[in-house]
C-alpha cells in the first residue's frame, strides 16, 4: 500500500494514546495524548515499565503479558485495562501491533489506546438501570410478560408468572402460548387469542384489557384482568411484540376490590467500537485510509485511496451536505472539524460514524495536509437508544399500573444513622394520591405524621433488617378516611414500595361480618324461643302427667314412687337446661347460684362465687347469653377436667364486664385445643356480644378462662 503518513504529525495530534514498547516491556515512545490523558510526564516515563511507573500490579502485569505475547507470536492483539486518575478511572481499549525489522523480527510493539470511559459509564448506567427495573418488577404482585403474537412465542416472564403457574422459565419459553392453552379453559383460550390479535392493531398509547379465569399452581381457577399494549413494532409498523400485565382480581370479583401491580423488564445493549485514521495531501483528489478504517466501512483495504465522491457514496443522503461541508472546511479553511453521521455499508447495515480532522500547515501558513480519525460509535448510539427505551418502558409501566409506586432513598446523619427519606421516584398514581410530583422532597416533610408513627419504623426495618413489609395503613386524604395495602422491599440504601387502596374492600368485609353476626343472632334467638316452647311443654304437660301418675300408683309401693320421683327430677333438669325459668323470674345472679348448687354439688365439686358484676342492668338476651356461657363452662368442668374445685368471678372493670373462671383439673396441652361443639357455641355467643376471650392451660395445671364483654353491648 502506497500510504505515506507523517507518523509524528498523526501521533502527536491524535486524540488517542499512541505508545511504543521494547522487549523489556519498557516505554520507548509516547505521544502527547498519553500525557494529556494520564497527567503523567512523558519524559519521566520513558525507559520504564508500567510497574516502574508506579501503576498497581493488577494493571501493569497483564499489560506486560500482552506485550510479550505480541513479541512472541508476531501477531496483533487487543487489551482492555483501566488507568487510575485522581478523579476516577480512565478506561482504555488498546490494539497492540508488532513492528518488524528488516529481518522480519519483532523489534518493538506499537500500541494505540482508545478512551472508552464514556462507553463504560453508559454500560454501568444501563446495568444499574436494569437492576433497578428488575427490583421494581419483582416487587410487584402481578404477572408481567412479553410475547410475539404472530409466532406465539413468549420472550419474557417475571417471577410472579413462575409462582402462579408453577412452571420453570425455561419451560415457559419453550412451550410459548401453549402455557396459556393449559392454564385457560378452551373457550377462554380462544377469547385470549382473539384478544391478542386485536391488540396487534392498537396504536402506541392504547391499552386493551380482558378478564379471564386462570388455573393457578394449586389447580384452582382465579380471575385475572389482563392488559396488553404494543411493546415493539416491525419496520413496516406492524406489532412485533406485546407487553402484558395480568392482575389477580379474584378477590375483586368476589368482594369487589383487589389491588394490582405492574412489572416490566429491560435488556441492556453494549458493544465496543473500533477506530481508524485517514490522511489527505494538498492537491490530491484522494484521501488514504488505514486498514481499520476500511473495516469500519465494510470494504477490503486498498492502496489507491478514496475520493470524496466515493466517500459520499457510503454516507446517508441526509448527512451528505454536512460531511461535504466539513471536508471543505478542513481542506480550504484549515479549521478542525468534528461531526457525526451515518454510513450504509454494501450489505445494507447502517453504522454511526464520528469523524474528526485536523489541518497541518507549511512554513508559509498554507494547508499542507489534513489528517483525522474515524470512530465507529454505533455501539454507543445503540446504548443511548437502549437507555431511552428503558426510560420509556419504565414510564409506560409506571403509568399503566393502577397501583401507586414510589422509591425512597435513605437520609442519614454524619454517624450513618437513618433519620429520614427522600422521594426519588413516583408514578402518576402516587402523584395523584400525594398531590403532585414531589420527587426530591423530604418524605417526612410531605408526611409529618409518618416520622412519629409505626410506618417510619417499618421502613427502617426494611432497609436495616432487609425485611419485606406487608401492612394495611389507614390514611386521611382531603377529609376522606381510607385504608391502603402497602408492600415495601429494600432497594440499595432505600426501598421501593407499592400501594393499593383497599378502603372499599375493608368496608365490604365489615358489612359481611356484620351480616354473619346478625344471622347467627337470629339463629340463636330462634333456638332460645324453641327451647322455651319445649321447656314449657315438658314442664306443663309431661311433668303434670307424671305427677298425676305418681298419685295414681302411690299405693303400689315405694319403688314405683322412687322411679317416678327420678323421672320428675330429670324432666325438671331438662326443662332447666332448655329454659332456666329462674333466670327470667329472679335474674342472672340467682340463676348462676342455682346452677352451681344443682350441678357442682352432685358432682362433688366445691366452688367460690363473686358475682358483683351481675348487679348491672343487663338486657334479657345478654343475661341469657352470659348464663349459657357459664353453663357451658360448668358442663366442660364436670365432663372433662377432673377438677374438685372451681372459682367464678363476674366483675365490672372500667367499660368491660369480666368473667374470670378457673379450675384445678388436669388441664390440657396446647396441641389438644381442638374446638368441640360446646366451645364453638360459647365462642359464638362471646362474638355475638362483641366480646373476647383467652384460655390459659397446661397439662396437670388446671385451666384459666378470661372473658371480656363491652358493657355497652349488653346494657
DSSP string, 544-571: HHHHHHHHHTGGG-HHHHHHHHHHHHHH
CATH 3.30.565.10 fits 583-715, yes or no: yes
What is the per-residue pLDDT across 499-515, written as a single tens digit (0 to 9) for each?
Answer: 777 778 878 777 777 76
713 has pLDDT over 50: yes
Indicate the CATH number for domain 141-255: 3.30.450.20
Mean pLDDT is lowest, of 10-14, 98-102, 245-249, 602-606, for: 10-14
Q: Are residues 485 and 472 in contact, defined by beta-carbon separation less than 8 angstroms?
A: yes
Give residue 545's pLDDT: 58
Give residue 42's pLDDT: 76
Q: Is 55 helix (H, G, I), strand (E, B) or coil?
A: coil
Give residue 121's pLDDT: 78
CATH superfamily of 403-501: PAS domain (3.30.450.20)
> Average pLDDT of 673-685?
67
Q: Are residues 709 and 657 in contact, defined by beta-carbon separation less than 8 angstroms?
A: yes
Q: Which distant-in-sequence residues (6+ apart) come within 8 Å of 606 by Cβ?
A: 600, 644, 645, 646
DSSP state of 442: B
> Average pLDDT of 6-30?
82
> Average pLDDT of 631-657?
89
Nearest CA to 143 out of 128, 125, 162, 167 is that of: 162
d(CA 423, CA 437): 9
Give residue 672's pLDDT: 55
pTM for this entry: 0.30
pLDDT-derived band at 649 (thresholds 50, 70, 90) equals very high
- Strands in 703-710's sheet, in edge-to-edge order, are 606-610, 645-653, 656-663, 703-710, 692-697
520 has pLDDT over 80: no
24 has pLDDT over 90: yes
* Percent over 70 (pLDDT), the chain: 79
d(CA 600, CA 636): 12
d(CA 347, CA 32): 38
At the topology level, CATH places domain 275-376 in Beta-Lactamase (3.30.450)
What is the per-residue pLDDT across 107-147, written as a single tens digit (0 to 9) for each?
Answer: 999 988 888 877 877 777 767 766 676 666 666 678 888 88
Mean pLDDT is lowest, of 8-17, 376-385, 397-406, for: 397-406
Q: Are residues 487 and 468 in contact, defined by beta-carbon separation less than 8 angstroms?
A: yes
Give residue 537's pLDDT: 52
Give residue 163's pLDDT: 78
pLDDT-derived band at 659 (thresholds 50, 70, 90) equals very high
Give residue 491's pLDDT: 81
Domains 7-114 and 275-376 are alike in CATH topology? yes
Give residue 89's pLDDT: 83
Nearest CA to 159 out of 466, 475, 489 is that of: 489
Q: Which residue has the higher pLDDT, 562 or 95?
A: 95
273 has pLDDT over 50: no
Cell of 649: 368471678
Q: Which residue has the higher pLDDT, 84 or 137?
A: 84
d(CA 221, CA 228): 21
DSSP state of 8: H
Q: Which distant-in-sequence residues (6+ apart) come within 8 Å of 473 by Cβ?
A: 455, 483, 484, 486, 499
> Average pLDDT of 283-294?
84
Give residue 661's pLDDT: 94
Give residue 707's pLDDT: 94
At the topology level, CATH places domain 7-114 in Beta-Lactamase (3.30.450)
640 has pLDDT over 60: yes
Q: Which distant-in-sequence residues (6+ apart) come within 8 Å of 522 by Cβ?
A: none
Q: Per-domain residue ranges for the chain? A: 7-114, 141-255, 275-376, 403-501, 583-715
Give residue 538's pLDDT: 62
* Percent over 90 (pLDDT), the chain: 10
d(CA 468, CA 378): 42
Cell of 693: 376471650
pLDDT-derived band at 551 (thresholds 50, 70, 90) equals low
Q: Which distant-in-sequence residues (6+ apart) come within 8 Å of 628 by Cβ?
A: 681, 682, 685
What is the per-residue pLDDT across 157-214, written as a single tens digit (0 to 9) for each?
Answer: 887 877 778 888 788 888 888 888 888 888 889 999 899 899 998 988 889 989 989 8
Give residue 267's pLDDT: 28
pLDDT-derived band at 61 (thresholds 50, 70, 90) equals very high
Nearest CA to 273 out of 297, 289, 296, 255 is that of: 296
Cell of 278: 485517514
Q: Which residue has the higher pLDDT, 399 or 337?
A: 337
Task: State residue 156 phi and psi, 5-degree precision.
Answer: -160, 140
Q: Which distant-in-sequence residues (6+ apart) come within 8 Å of 58 by Cβ?
A: none
Q: Are residues 408 and 424 in contact, defined by beta-carbon separation less than 8 angstroms?
A: yes
Quick one: CA torsion of 59, 64, 69, 75, rounded to 10 degrees?
A: 80
Amino acid at each position: 500500500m502506497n500510504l505515506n503518513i507523517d507518523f509524528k504529525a498523526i501521533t502527536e495530534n491524535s486524540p488517542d494514546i499512541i505508545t511504543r514498547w521494547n522487549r523489556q516491556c519498557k516505554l520507548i515512545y509516547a505521544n502527547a495524548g498519553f500525557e494529556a490523558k494520564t497527567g503523567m510526564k512523558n519524559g519521566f516515563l520513558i525507559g520504564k515499565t508500567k510497574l516502574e511507573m508506579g501503576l498497581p500490579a493488577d494493571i501493569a502485569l497483564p499489560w506486560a503479558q500482552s506485550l510479550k505475547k505480541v513479541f512472541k507470536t508476531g501477531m496483533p492483539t487487543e487489551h482492555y485495562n483501566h488507568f487510575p486518575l485522581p478523579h476516577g478511572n480512565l478506561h482504555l481499549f488498546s490494539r497492540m501491533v508488532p513492528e518488524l525489522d528488516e529481518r522480519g523480527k519483532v523489534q518493538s510493539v506499537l500500541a494505540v489506546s482508545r478512551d472508552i470511559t464514556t462507553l463504560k459509564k453508559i454500560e454501568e448506567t444501563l446495568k444499574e438501570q436494569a437492576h433497578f427495573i428488575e427490583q421494581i418488577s419483582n416487587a410487584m404482585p402481578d404477572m408481567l410478560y412479553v410475547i410475539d403474537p404472530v409466532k406465539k412465542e413468549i420472550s419474557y416472564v417475571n417471577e410472579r408468572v413462575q409462582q402462579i403457574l408453577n412452571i420453570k422459565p425455561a419451560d415457559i419459553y419453550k412451550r410459548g402460548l401453549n402455557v396459556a392453552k393449559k392454564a385457560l379453559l378452551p373457550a377462554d383460550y380462544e377469547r385470549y387469542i382473539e384478544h391478542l390479535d386485536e391488540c396487534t392493531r392498537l396504536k402506541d398509547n392504547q391499552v386493551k384489557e380482558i378478564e379471564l379465569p386462570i388455573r393457578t399452581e394449586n389447580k384452582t381457577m382465579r380471575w385475572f384482568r389482563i392488559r396488553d399494549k404494543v411493546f415493539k413494532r416491525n419496520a413496516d409498523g406492524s406489532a412485533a411484540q406485546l407487553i402484558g400485565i395480568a392482575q389477580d382480581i379474584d378477590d375483586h370479583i368476589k368482594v369487589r376490590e383487589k389491588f394490582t401491580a405492574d412489572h416490566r423488564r429491560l435488556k441492556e445493549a453494549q458493544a465496543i467500537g473500533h477506530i481508524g485514521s485517514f490522511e489527505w495531501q494538498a492537491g490530491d483528489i484522494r484521501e488514504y485510509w488505514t486498514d481499520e478504517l476500511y473495516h469500519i466501512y465494510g470494504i477490503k483495504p486498498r492502496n489507491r485511496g478514496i475520493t470524496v465522491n466515493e466517500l459520499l457514496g457510503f454516507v446517508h443522503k441526509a448527512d451528505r451536505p454536512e460531511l461535504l461541508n466539513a471536508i471543505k472546511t478542513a481542506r480550504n479553511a484549515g479549521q478542525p472539524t468534528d461531526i457525526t453521521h451515518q454510513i450504509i455499508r454494501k450489505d445494507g447495515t447502517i453504522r454511526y460514524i464520528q469523524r474528526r480532522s485536523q489541518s497541518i500547515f507549511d512554513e508559509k501558513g498554507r494547508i499542507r495536509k489534513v489528517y483525522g480519525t474515524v470512530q465507529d460509535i454505533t455501539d454507543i448510539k445503540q446504548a443511548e437508544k437502549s437507555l431511552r427505551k428503558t426510560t420509556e418502558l419504565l414510564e409506560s409501566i409506571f403509568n399503566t399500573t393502577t397501583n401507586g409506586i414510589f422509591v425512597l432513598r435513605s437520609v442519614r446523619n454524619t454517624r450513618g444513622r437513618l433519620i429520614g427519606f427522600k422521594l426519588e421516584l413516583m408514578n402518576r398514581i402516587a402523584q395523584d394520591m400525594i398531590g403532585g410530583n414531589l420527587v426530591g422532597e423530604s418524605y417526612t416533610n410531605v408526611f409529618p405524621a409518618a416520622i412519629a408513627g409505626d410506618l417510619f419504623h417499618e421502613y427502617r426495618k426494611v432497609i436495616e433488617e432487609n425485611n419485606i413489609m406487608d401492612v394495611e395503613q389507614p390514611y386521611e386524604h382531603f377529609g376522606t378516611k381510607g385504608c391502603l395495602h402497602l408492600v415495601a422491599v429494600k432497594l440499595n440504601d432505600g426501598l421501593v414500595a407499592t400501594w393499593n387502596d383497599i378502603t372499599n374492600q375493608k368496608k365490604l368485609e365489615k358489612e359481611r361480618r356484620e351480616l354473619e353476626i346478625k344471622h347467627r343472632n337470629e339463629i340463636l334467638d330462634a333456638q332460645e324461643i324453641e327451647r322455651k316452647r319445649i321447656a314449657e311443654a315438658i314442664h306443663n304437660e309431661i311433668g303434670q302427667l307424671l305427677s298425676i301418675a305418681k298419685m295414681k300408683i302411690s299405693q303400689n309401693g315405694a319403688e314405683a314412687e322412687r322411679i317416678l320421683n327420678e323421672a320428675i327430677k330429670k324432666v325438671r333438669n331438662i326443662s332447666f337446661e332448655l329454659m332456666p325459668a329462674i333466670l327470667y323470674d329472679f335474674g342472672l345472679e340467682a340463676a348462676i347460684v342455682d346452677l352451681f348448687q344443682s350441678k357442682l354439688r352432685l358432682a362433688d365439686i366445691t366452688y367460690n362465687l363473686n358475682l358483683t358484676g351481675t348487679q348491672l342492668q343487663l338486657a334479657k338476651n345478654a343475661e341469657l347469653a352470659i348464663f349459657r356461657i357459664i353453663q357451658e363452662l360448668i358442663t366442660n368442668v364436670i365432663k372433662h377436667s377432673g377438677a374438685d374445685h372451681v372459682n367464678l368471678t363476674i366483675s365490672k372493670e372500667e367499660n368491660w364486664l369480666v368473667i374470670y373462671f378457673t379450675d384445678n383439673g388436669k388441664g390440657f396441652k396446647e396441641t389438644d385445643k381442638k374446638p368441640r361443639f360446646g366451645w364453638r357455641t360459647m365462642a359464638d355467643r362471646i362474638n355475638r356480644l362483641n366480646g373476647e376471650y383467652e384460655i390459659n392451660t397446661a397439662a396437670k395445671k388446671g385451666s384459666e378462662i378470661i372473658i371480656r364483654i363491652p358493657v355497652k353491648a349488653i346494657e
